[in-house]
């Protein structure tokens, strides 16, 4: 009996000491923690990529046509322009604002980027530095007359005249100047860390008192580098408040759109 009992005792698994049990439990917890961290890191990389791909897919014209009852932004602009050939011509330009330290200046009268040696001159209207945009007026330049009105998400070609509203000029902060209207001309996606231009239309009084209407289209260069700001605009070089060739504009809304929260994504 004793021999049998001793033999069965040898075959049974040895009991672990309390310290050994603690170590086993610790290693098990570390394995689970490492697995969770690995899954989290994979998701952190994979999810933004998939969301960006999905965003690009949904931005395709065919998808936009399915998701909206009316035509897309470009299609709507073309239809309005076709119905009203009296509109001033619309120009599109890409501003190279990739330099994070130096301003890039744009002049509506010449329709291009310009080199400025004296920022107090009236030879420029807008200045760009990455996502920041200022105007030639207010706190930026006391000699400039530039200011802006935000009309919100209206049809670009439906804006036929300068609204009866006050233009907002640049204001001073502790470190720099800024224009409150253009602080949130884009949406920032906290997941993909990408900027998307809002569809708002802006009416601008230029540095010398003439008028232009503006809509920003994108922020990225062809190689996906940030800082290439694509903008379309119509410029009234005669100094009148109409964006029609015969100066018979009819858009007189006094509503100024409030800037949405930049956290919208």
Collapsing DSSP states into helix, strand and coil, what is residue 72? coil
Question: How do residues 143-169 score in pLDDT, each as one tens digit?
Answer: 999 999 999 999 999 999 999 889 999
pLDDT for the residue numbered 124: 98
Supply the pTM of this predicted model: 0.66
pLDDT for the residue numbered 255: 38
- Bridge pairing between strands 126-129 and 132-135: antiparallel
pLDDT for the residue numbered 38: 80
Q: What is the DSSP letter of 242?
A: B
Give average pLDDT by consecutive 10-residue segment, the chain, 265 residues.
Answer: 52 68 78 81 65 51 38 43 78 95 96 95 97 97 97 95 94 94 92 91 97 96 93 94 76 40 37
Domain boundaries, the chain: 17-57, 71-236
Question: How do residues 73-110 score in pLDDT, each as one tens digit?
Answer: 444 444 445 567 889 999 999 999 999 999 999 999 99
Long-range contacts of 22-31 (CB under 8 A, 24+ apart): none
pLDDT for the residue numbered 254: 37
- Strands in 147-150's sheet, in edge-to-edge order, are 91-96, 226-236, 211-220, 202-205, 147-150
pLDDT for the residue numbered 170: 97
Whole-angstrom distance, CA of residue 93 vs CA of residue 105: 13
Collapsing DSSP states into helix, strand and coil, what is residue 76? helix
Average pLDDT taken over every residue of the chain: 80
């Amino acid at each position: 009996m004793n021999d049998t009992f001793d033999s069965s005792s040898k075959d049974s698994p040895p009991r672990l000491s309390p310290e050994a049990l603690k170590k086993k439990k610790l290693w098990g917890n570390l394995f689970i923690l490492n697995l969770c961290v690995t899954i989290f890191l994979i998701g952190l990389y994979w999810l933004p990529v998939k969301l960006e791909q999905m965003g690009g897919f949904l931005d395709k014209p065919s998808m936009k046509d399915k998701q909206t009852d009316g035509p897309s932004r470009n299609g709507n602009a073309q239809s309005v322009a076709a119905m009203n050939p009296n509109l001033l011509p619309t120009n599109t330009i890409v501003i190279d604002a990739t330099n994070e330290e130096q301003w890039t200046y744009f002049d509506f009268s010449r329709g291009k980027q310009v080199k400025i040696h004296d920022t107090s001159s009236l030879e420029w209207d807008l200045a760009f530095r990455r996502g920041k945009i200022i105007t030639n007026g207010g706190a930026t330049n006391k000699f400039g007359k530039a200011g802006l009105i935000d009309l919100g998400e209206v049809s670009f070609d439906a804006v036929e005249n300068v609204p009866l509203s006050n233009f907002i000029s640049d204001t001073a902060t502790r470190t720099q100047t800024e224009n409150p209207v253009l602080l949130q001309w884009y949406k920032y996606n906290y997941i993909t860390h990408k900027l998307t231009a809002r569809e708002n239309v802006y009416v601008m009084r230029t540095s010398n008192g003439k008028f232009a209407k503006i809509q920003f289209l994108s922020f990225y260069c062809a190689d996906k580098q940030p800082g290439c700001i694509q903008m379309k605009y119509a410029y009234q070089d005669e100094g009148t408040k109409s964006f029609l060739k015969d100066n018979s504009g009819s858009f007189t809304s006094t509503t100024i759109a409030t800037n949405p929260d930049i956290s919208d994504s």
